[in-house]
Every structure is written in structure tokens, then in C-alpha cells.
A and B are shown apart, each in its own frame.
Chain A
Amino acid sequence: MDINKFKEIFENTTTIGEKIYIENNLAETVKFVKENYHFDILKEIIAVDNQENGIELIYRLYSAENEEEALLATIVRDEVESVCNIFDSAYADEKEIYDLFGVRFVGNQELKRLYMPEDWKGHPLRKDYMENDERLNWND
């Protein structure tokens, strides 16, 4: 999927390497991309916690027909609109990211913790989680 074809479609996108950053209206972009460029599989939503500048969500889309892959990324503070009505696989991903990172997905009704028990305090995969627990620092 060459980048510039995306570019003139979305005006405020900046690209770093392969990823295409999208500031807002993520859901329409994903819906738009899914219908027009038959990206019909959302392989995974990767969440990375870069402490100060928020949590980065990478949406890996793949089209089975023309075997292409597109990476859409957004920087998120703690709330983003959900894509679960576009891709049903996002239900599981969004629950996991909510559970491990605390990002709330607006529009996903069944948003609750996937792995941790309901009353678990804190979000384990964030960088500022239990930093002081020396039990976890094994190797140094």
C-alpha cells in the first residue's frame, strides 16, 4: 500500500517509516480503508506505553486479496473511539488493552478486564506499574 495514496486521502497524517499516524477520527479512517482498499483482516492492535507522550496504538490491517499490509497508528492519552463495530476481532484486543494499559474505548459496551480479576488495581503493562517491586527485577 504505497504511502502517498493514503496521504492525499487523509490530510493531517504524518508518516514515520511504514506507519501512518492519524490524529483523530480513527474509526472512520479504519472503516474507509476497510471498504475501499479491502483491508478485511485487523490482525492485531499493538499498544506501546511511551511514558510521557501517551500510549501509541498500532492497528495492523491486512488484505487477503492483494496480500498487502497497512499500519495505522495513533497517539492516545486514555480514551479513543472503538473500532469494534467495524472489526469484531477488536472486541478481544480492546478488552486486553483496557485491562493491561487502561485505555478506555468509547463505543465498546463489553469493555471489562480480560485477564485480570475485576477488582485488580492498576494496569500491569504500563511502565509506571509497580516499579518499586524488586521481586520483578530479576536479572540486574
Chain B
Amino acid sequence: MIRYDVIVIGAGPAGLSASIEAAEAGMKVAVFDENTRPGGQLFKQIHKFFGAKEHKAKIRGFRIGEELLAEAEKLQVDVHLNAAVIGIHDFNSIAVVENEQVSFYKAGNLIIATGASENMVPFDGWTLPGVIGAGAAQTMMNLHGVLPGKKVLMVGSGNVGLVVGYQLLQAGVEIAAIIDAAPKIGGYGVHASKVARTGVPFLLSHTILKAEGEEFVTGAAVVEVDSKFQPIKGTEKHFDVDTICMAVGLSPMSQLLRIAGCEMKEMGGLVPACNEYGETSISGIFAAGDVAGIEEASSAMVGGRIAGAASALRDGFIMQGDFEEKYKALKESLNQLRQGMFCKENRGKTDMTATEEGIPLSNSLLEKGYLLEKEIIKFPGVKKKAGVHPIIECTQNIPCNPCQTACKFNCISIGENITALPVVIEDSKCTNCGMCVASCSGQAIFLLNEDSEDGFVSITLPYEFLPYPKKGVKGIALDRSGNRVCEAEIIGLRTAEAFDHTALLTMKVPSEFAMSARFFTL
């Protein structure tokens, strides 16, 4: 039986990071993944990541996947693809299906990074073709370039629902609505806002009643629910859609850990009981990433590194002191990601009313997906200034700070605490370079120039749709809710390598719409 110092199961963000860390320590490492492509969910994630620079913030998920893979390959990690691990047996031996046969391998350390799979809720007609998981939609469009459908109802307003909803729009799919049984949007407000401003309605306190159709989905019926999640008669609504996309949460894919005999605990799905280094109740078996508890890919990468380093320490590839130093830095990086109003401790909290800075949270954002003009002016990213200046519509404490470093002219400040709201510095000089707009993973930064022409202002917004409107084209400006506000003329379109596929669209609108026009459509 071939023996490796470390066998990593799952080549996603956690698995690749673990293998890199272990290989850097000089360990002989193999990674197994059942998919054709490594990277796990990263290759479906075409949006820019949150976090700080060390978390690879503002880089798109699939690019991070490519970077990690290149790094692993450089370190001579054996990456086995199309290789499904089907069992873990005694003494860290595993059975793998690979090249039409089952093979057995043994590892000094096993790092299990099998990720998560989507939860589903049953409803009338949920077995019809056309009812799919949000992950399935992502796989179809972002990996295979195939449209999941023409018109979609998204069920679930967590980050997955919001991000996949936006990606569907980018792929050219129409979204009838995003519904959620909860009374508040579960994901980041900025993710909701970029969908809402295109005109997608959010129906909170709504649940799906039925997928209609005989052979496949031809429509969907939804209904409003009361505070006890019971349907309210007479509130049924119908949508003509061909696809119903389910984004109702994730559960760790922990079967292998259970087969191995690791002690498990219930935490929104079964997760292994691990120590701070990710080691399970069985010495030499580690868990990292979503399988150890659902978080973002950014934290999975750090978790993977910790497990990789801990396995290196366990088998004497690194010294205790070196490990401790490494661990301290990684732990700090993880702590940064685990702050803010969406962190584990705050998940499910419904009584949050203000930001860490004491500014009232926008109920409109939580209930409808968009901010109201009167609310936005209270935030430190919105200042009235002469000339062109950024308007930062970032109103929740999320761990993210690329805008601060994107501006080379010190117009934007977040400070040490990366969940703090960005502040536009009063006496700074904006050069209209657009880097902040393109670097904001939440697409929440706009450039406003109120001095442009008599009676008109120019608004620069991030734009990630095709085709790009050409300069001189006249169309309609939409507000944050996607409602038409006025006519608008495109006066500029900037693309640059540094913008990484976020185009900067500048439109001219009458000055009274300076603080309401936030999107453009033909």
C-alpha cells in the first residue's frame, strides 16, 4: 500500500491550503478529489472575495483556486482527480475509486476537507426536473457555461442565494424573485443590494408552496407565512418560471469522518469534535473547512493551513516553536474573519439594531434588499463633497477592507478592525481612478460628481453584465430597488486589468437623482 505523510481528502479551499502547508513543511502529500477539476466550490465562485489581503480579498474565487492549485503543484503535491474516496478504515487507510479500480492508500495524517452539501426542504413538486440546488445552478453556468434555465425563482436569501442569484443575472438568466421564509435577508446586505438594484424583488416571510408542471417545472406558487412560519391564506402568488433554485443552507459532508469513527457533535449538521488545530477525536485525523463547520471559503483556507501545520508538527516535520508562531498568525487571521454582525455568535440573532459604530441598521435593506436614501446619508462612507468623490454604501459590519488599500490617495479609511465601516475622509482628494469601485467585493462603492454640468451629475457604478452599454447610449437609471427613476446617458465606460472584469460605467443623470440613481438599463 502506498503511504503518504499526509492524505488530504477534498481539493477545495481547505484541502488545497492544507496540502500546501504540509508540503511546505517537507511532507509527502496527496490530495484526492472526486471531481474532474480541483478547487472545490472555488471554481464556481466567480465573485470577488471579502476579507483582507491575506485572505485573498477582492480576488475572484476561481482565481484563488488557480493560485492554490499552482502552488500545490509547485510543491509536488500529488493531486488525484476523478478519485472518490469511498471509505476510511483502520489505521488511516483509505479506499479510493480511481481509473476504474479501487485502490488503497495509507497516511500518517488524514486531513478531511470534504466540504458541505446543500440542504433541501421538501415541498409539493420538489422532485420535478427544474427544481435544482443553487450549487447545481453554479455548476451548470460557471463550470460548463450552460444556462440552468431562462427564468428562475430563488428560494433562500442567505449569501448562497444572493451570490448565485447575481451570477444567474450575469449569465443572462431572469430572476422572478428571491424568497425566504425568514422575515429578514440572511446574507450580506451588499450582496442583496447588487441584486435588488437590477430590479429583482425580495419576498421575505414567503415560502414555496408548489412547483408546477407535469414533466418539468413550468411555474411556482409561493405564499406568505406568519411569524410561526404558517402559510397565510389568500396570499398565494404565482410565478412563471422554468427553474426553482434552492439555497436553504449547507450541511457538512461528514460521512467519511463518521465512518472513520470520529466523535461527532451536532452543529447545524454533524461536525467532528475537534481541538483548536482541527484534530478530531482520532489522533492523526484532522478536519478542515466546511466539513468542520460551515463558514466562508476564506476561513476554510486558514483552517486548512492550521490542520496542515498541525499534521507537520505531529510527525516531526516542523518544530514546536515554529508551529506556535505559525499558528498564532493563522489564528489571528481566522479571528479577523470571524468578526462582525454575520459571525457565528451573531448568526440567527434578530435583535441587532445598530452597527458597531452605533448607526441604526437599515430595515429596508434587511427586508427588501435595498437601502433607503434617508438611511444611507447617516453612514460614514457617504459624505457630500466637491468634485468627484466615492459614495460607499457599506452599512453592515462585515470582515472586509480592500477599499482602504485600493485608494492610493487616502480617501477611504477602515482602520485596524476590518469589520469597521469604511469612512470617506473629508479633506482628501479623489482622483476618479475608480480603484475603490472595482475593488469593492460588495459592489457598494459609487463615484459621484455633483459639479459636472448644470443640472446634471455623473455617477460611476460597478457593472458586471454583458453587453456593456456604449458611450453616448441613452437608457434608464434605476434606483436601489430597481425602479426606474429617470433617463440616463452613458458618458464613460472604463475597463482595466486592475479592475478584474468589473467595468466602471459612468452615467449622467439630472442632479436631483444624484443620491437615488444606482443602476443603468437600456
User: Are A and B bound to each other?
Assistant: no
B contact residues vs A (CB 8 Å cutoff): none
A contact residues vs B (CB 8 Å cutoff): none
